[in-house]
Structure 1
Amino acid sequence: MLILRVVTKLKVGGVERGLLEEVSIIEKSAEFNYIIFVIEGTNKDFFNGFDVSYHNSSKELITNFNPDRINVLLCNKKIINIIFLIRELNLLISSLDVSYIISSLWKSNIISIIVRVLKNKKIKLISFFHSSSYAHYIDRLVSKSAFLVSDKCIYDSLSTKMIYKKTDVTVTDVIPFVFKDNLCCNDIINNSNPYSFVFIGRLHSVKNISHAINIIYEIKSRGLNPKFDIYGPDEGEFSLLLELVNRLDLSKNVSFKGVLENADFNKILSNYDFLLQTSLREGMASSVIEGMQRGLIPVVTPVGQIINYCESGRNSIIIGNDINEVVNNIVSLYKDNRLNEVKFNAIKTVTDMPCFNDRYSNFLSLL
């Protein structure tokens, strides 16, 4: 079965981390294959380690289509080139035996919806939703339209599913962004770097990183020496955050490290005790899960699905309105010698979760 997977861009993020897991599943499958349709950019390093063929146009892909490999079309366009993108997507569907389109995020959903309507029932659309709130009005409009037009919908968490008024308890359409790795629990727990924090994600206003920096400032104001490393691509916030760091005299405490490659996760994350994330909205929050299974204690805002797996004082620290209380809770883990206990609970929380691989494989088997 040939599936056309439509994504906006190949970059570091939860959705894209899930895409890598999807590709890993597809490569092992004798029944399914992917064409990955990428709207923006030409990041050919993203699929390093996978057996992938890259193409620059639908015509080229059709001519050189390799059924034994995953074929990736890099359109390198913007959503304003929507007519071109629709034509390219439509040409693939018309020329190859595509059974389904799977689409994520609003830009991908726009062109997928239009092609689904144009093709009527000749192609089936599956929309994959990843956030428990909308980014903006256009996202709300497009996402709701995708929900109505799609033949099937899948969600990264129950909290995401709820905003589409889906209150049924079935979980076959929930694909949790929990990516499990085989890690040594004892080595993780016994390693500690006091007051070390990390953030992994986009430098975007929705991540509210300035609030995280203010927490670091409060820790330092108590005579402590916190370290906060920020990993991720700039999406409009870097200059503002750098200005804040300099204004608060935190240049020796806060560092911007650029993009963290997936292959470096284990090595890098072993250097920290906490994952600090002050997002305004999330879905499953895969970076929090990634940190927890590596023994990092999440210091997080209670948004999206986070409220359903993070319990303050047991496996995490929940950020409320009072920064002083947050810092008190962090400091008390060291003073009360509870750091390893909470680290262990964080690891166990993820160990007990259903994982992306199993749920997505099951979902494919039901198509």
Structure 2
Amino acid sequence: MAGLLHVLPHDGVGGAEIAARQAAQAAPDRVTVAVLAGAIHGPAQPNRISLNGFDSYDPLPALRVGVLARKYPVAIFSLWKSTLAMLATALISPGTLRVLLLHSDRRVHLPDRLATWLQARLAHEIWADCRRSLDGLGSLMPAGKPTRIISFVANRLTGTTRAAPRPRFIFWGRLTPLKRINVAIALFAELARTRPDARFMIIGPDDGSEAGLRNQVAALRLGDKVTFAGGKTMNEIAAIAADYDFFLQLSEQEGAAMSLIEAMQLGLAPIVTPVGEMGTYVRALETGVVYESRDQAAADIARILGDPALFARIGAAAVDHWRGARLY
């Protein structure tokens, strides 16, 4: 069979899963996505399959990947929990080109580091969603290993032309501690003290943080200003985002930062921490606000709110940054 097999530990709303899902939808005759455990999200497709493992460490779906890989010239493995599947592929389908695809510039714990070390040695090539992710492999990179940085622009979105800036902020992504939404809420609270019209829309499924974030919002008495909207499709997000002016993402770590790529294409003024590639995409007061401290970010946002021409330039520059970019 021509094309490639993309192996994921599970399906979900992370950047790796979203990119794989969109590639499978865009090129159904060339891309097959295999999920080791859990259900397939979104519309059913014959080229998106679950291998029905009880978790990502189950050896049976890993063995199934090894057999399935015989049909494909290339097998891509995302995330450290796919290590068993890569090992099974090396043993059962040695003729299949094995690719490790990196999505982050950090290894978050020892199992991640050990598994990634093994994957880097089992892989014929190492691909990354951005330069920071590739550089973040550091000493785990085997000498002489072929590498490639691929585009992670999943789709093209049309920007909205906005009038005078308003203190309306939006975030979409997983509600996980790594996104530091609590820090974003604290910044928003600072802004809302002097702007009673301030609003913050938080879109995304819970991944361990929602209860604490809701408690924080209640403690700050922001219940009438902060909305938790749950998970949404990209089309729904784009429609909602048209009524907001700033994208607020203060992550602890990122790779290519797909939500930010989407937000900039939509013409939102981004406010981000300079982690992963976010510090490359966003230049202070040119394509957005780079968060260094709460006071500094609040001052920069206040400056943009008071200067419609600056706001318009930032939105236009954000859109221009991704104009003509290659798609994943």
TM-score (norm 2): 0.90
Q: Which of 162, 179, 200 in structure 1 is aligned with 2:135?
A: 162
Matched, 1:273 2:245: yes
2:304 alignment partner, SS class = helix
Which residue of the partner structure matches residue 33 of structure 2?
Answer: 36
Q: Once structures 1 and 2 are overlaid, which stretch shifts more, 118-127 or 226-235? A: 118-127
TM-aligned CA deviation for residue 304 of structure 1: 0.5
Report % sequence identity.
24
Q: How does 1:14-29 map to 2 (within 5 A)?
A: 14-27=15-28
Q: Once structures 1 and 2 are overlaid, which stretch shifts more, 199-208 or 174-183? A: 174-183
Q: Which of 191, 195, 216 in structure 1 is aligned with 2:188?
A: 216
Counterpart residue type for residue 334 of structure 1: L
Counterpart residue type for residue 182 of structure 2: S
Which residue of the partner structure matches residue 264 of structure 1?
Answer: 236
Counterpart residue type for residue 40 of structure 2: N
Structure 1 residues 160 and 207: CA distance shift in structure 2, 3 A: same
Which residue of the partner structure matches residue 330 of structure 1?
Answer: 301
Q: Is the 8 A contact 1:10 1:38 kept in 2?
A: yes
Q: Which of 81, 103, 107 in structure 1 is aligned with 2:81?
A: 107
Q: Is the 8 A contact 2:66 2:85 kept in 1?
A: no
Name the Cα RMSD after superposition. Answer: 2.3
Q: Which segments of 5 or more consecutive residues in structure 1 lack a partner in the other structure?
A: 54-69, 358-367
TM-aligned CA deviation for residue 192 of structure 1: 5.6
1:356 alignment partner, SS class = coil
Counterpart residue type for residue 325 of structure 1: Q
Q: Which of 52, 62, 73 in structure 2 is aligned with 1:86?
A: 62
Matched, 1:73 2:50: yes
Q: Which of 245, 251, 254 in structure 1 is aligned with 2:226?
A: 254
Q: How does 1:36-75 map to 2 (within 5 A)?
A: 36-44=33-41, 46-47=42-43, 52-53=45-46, 70=47, 72-75=49-52
TM-score (norm 1): 0.81
Q: Is the 8 A contact 2:40 2:48 kept in 1?
A: no
Matched, 1:316 2:288: yes
2:174 alignment partner, SS class = coil
Counterpart residue type for residue 140 of structure 1: R
Structure 1 residues 106 and 14: CA distance shift in structure 2, 3 A: same
Structure 1 residues 222 and 12: CA distance shift in structure 2, 3 A: same
Matched, 1:194 2:166: yes
Q: Distance in 2 between matches of 1:280 and 1:233?
A: 18
Q: Is the 8 A contact 1:215 1:327 kept in 2?
A: yes
TM-aligned CA deviation for residue 117 of structure 1: 3.6
Q: Is the 8 A contact 2:10 2:37 kept in 1?
A: yes
Q: Distance in 2 between matches of 1:71 and 1:294?
A: 28
TM-aligned CA deviation for residue 213 of structure 1: 0.4
Report how many aligned residue pairs link the two structures.
321
Q: Is the 8 A contact 1:5 1:101 kept in 2?
A: yes
TM-aligned CA deviation for residue 43 of structure 1: 3.3
Q: Distance in 1 between matches of 2:94 and 2:237?
A: 42
1:304 alignment partner, SS class = coil
Instruction: Write the deviation string for residues 211-269 of structure 1: whole angstroms up to 9, x where unpaired.
Output: 00000110112244311111111111111111111111111111111002123232121
Q: Is the 8 A contact 2:24 2:48 kept in 1?
A: no
Structure 1 residues 71 and 157: CA distance shift in structure 2, 3 A: closer
Instruction: Write the deviation string for residues 339-362 of structure 1: whole angstroms up to 9, x where unpaired.
Output: 11111111111216x3233xxxxx
Counterpart residue type for residue 10 of structure 1: D
Counterpart residue type for residue 79 of structure 1: S
Q: Distance in 2 between matches of 1:229 and 1:270?
A: 12
Runs of 4+ in 1 over 3 A off after TM superposition: none
TM-aligned CA deviation for residue 115 of structure 1: 0.8
Q: Distance in 1 between matches of 2:25 and 2:163?
A: 31
Q: Distance in 2 between matches of 1:356 and 1:336?
A: 34
